[in-house]
Amino acid sequence: MNTQRPAKLGKTKAGDPGYRERIQGEAKFWDERAERLWASGRIPLWFDHRRGEDVTFIPLGELKGAGIRANPVLYRAVFGGLIDHIIRAATGKKGNVLDLGCGAGWFSLELARCGMSVDGLDISPRQIEIARIMSRESKDSADPRLHGDFGRTDYRVADLNAIRLEKGKYDVAVSLGTLHHIQRLDDLMSEVKKSLKPGGKFIFWEYVGYSGPARLFPALFKAAGIMAVAPKRWIRGRSTRPITSPFEGVSQSEILKTVRRCFSVETMESRFLFLPVLVSRLRIYRLPPMISLPLIKALDRVDRGLIRSRLFRGPFILGVARKT
């Protein structure tokens, strides 16, 4: 989730020295967070969704904006239904899947457990290394819950701004919270389209920002001091490390029109006006479950009601499109 102001990187070409410095910073950002979590001795949700452990004991500055995902119980309470929906949409029939910005591989794992053959790409070498470990442990496990009908995973380090993909290889391509980090979004979407088989599906979940009357909500958050709980780039008194990556939000405003230009859109669903923001910024994920879970259910009902009223469009979009 991103509620930061988009980075202003312009139209720098991927071969320019300034770009290389920033993309190296992007890889370092995700490497450092992955290493900090690995060193904790616990498996967070974004390593393996089925073995995810609570890591809320790690200071927020070290989690680098992960917030709600540090608490598996609350994360599933907020996003569990959505994730199940995306998995069903991506695994309607067995085939080849491309996972863009796979991170430490949790979603690739879920798809592989449904029998899919998954290629996961990410800029972070450390996350790719961890993804391979998680996949190997899952395949070797005697626990059927972890193994499932395991297909295949193949992970590699890649700059999605400059990637070249094999033509007509994939039945499905997925992107969960990755597109807003891509500076050369047109190039990436052209490559994804090329890589899909005729009729292939592209599924994405993205934060695209508030628009129209929904812009009222960030103003309300600011007035209530909610956004100040975690300053935009620094956690004062705890860490001097940035909590957002160098490419955070760089193409946020371009996502929907770029997808529409490259694919035939089947659905675009608006989600979550305020729930994830409040859970993260108010640190609800650090409260005891007997308090946090009922609170989340109540807030979710209000959030869903406002979305259904069609007066507001949520800043999160779940999209399903096809190659025609």
Question: 17-322: CATH homologous superfamily?
Answer: Vaccinia Virus protein VP39 (3.40.50.150)
- Which pLDDT value is given to residue 149? 84
Q: CA torsion sign, 134 to 136 to 141 to 143?
A: positive
Of the two residues 104 and 7, the one the predictor is more confident about is 104
- Which pLDDT value is given to residue 225? 65
Range name among 93-97, 277-281, 303-307, 316-320 with the lowest pLDDT average: 277-281
Q: What are 212-267's pLDDT values in tens digits?
A: 999 998 888 877 766 544 444 433 444 445 567 889 888 998 999 999 999 999 99
User: Which segments of the chain does DSSP mark as H helices, in order?
Assistant: 17-39, 60-63, 72-90, 106-112, 125-140, 144-147, 185-195, 216-223, 255-262, 275-281, 289-308
pLDDT band at 15; cut points 50, 70, 90:
low
Of the two residues 61 and 208, the one the predictor is more confident about is 208
- Which pLDDT value is given to residue 226? 65
End-to-end alpha carbon distance in the chain:
30
Provide the CB-side half-sphere exposure for 155 (13 A, CA). Answer: 25
Mean pLDDT, rounded, for 184-211: 96
Q: What are 110-119's pLDDT values in tens digits?
A: 999 999 999 9
Q: Report how far residue 103's alpha carbon sits from residue 178's, in angstroms, rounded to the nearest whole number.
A: 9
Q: What angle do CA 32, 101, 43 make, to 5 degrees?
A: 50
Other CB atoms within a 10 A radius of the CB of residue 261 amount to: 12
Q: Is the pLDDT of residue 188 over 50?
A: yes
Other CB atoms within a 10 A radius of the CB of residue 243 amount to: 23
Report domain extents, the chain: 17-322
- Which pLDDT value is given to residue 284? 87
Q: What are 148-166's pLDDT values in tens digits?
A: 789 999 999 999 999 999 9
Q: Report how far residue 111's alpha carbon sits from residue 94's, in angstroms, rounded to the nearest whole number.
A: 10
Mean pLDDT, rounded, for 165-171: 98
Are the C-beta atoms of 118 and 152 separated by less than 8 Å? yes
Q: Report how far residue 248's alpha carbon sits from residue 246's, in angstroms, rounded to the nearest whole number.
A: 6
Residue 321 φ/ψ, nearest 5 degrees: -135, 165
Query: Which pair of structure tokens corresponds to residue 6?
Result: 């988009």
Q: Is 310 exposed, middle or buried (0-12, 13-18, 19+ CB in 10 A)?
A: exposed
Percent of residues, the chain, with pLDDT higher than 90: 67
Which value, to the nearest 10 degrees, does the dihedral of the CA atoms of residues 304, 320, 113, 46 take? -60
Residue 267 in 3-state DSSP?
strand
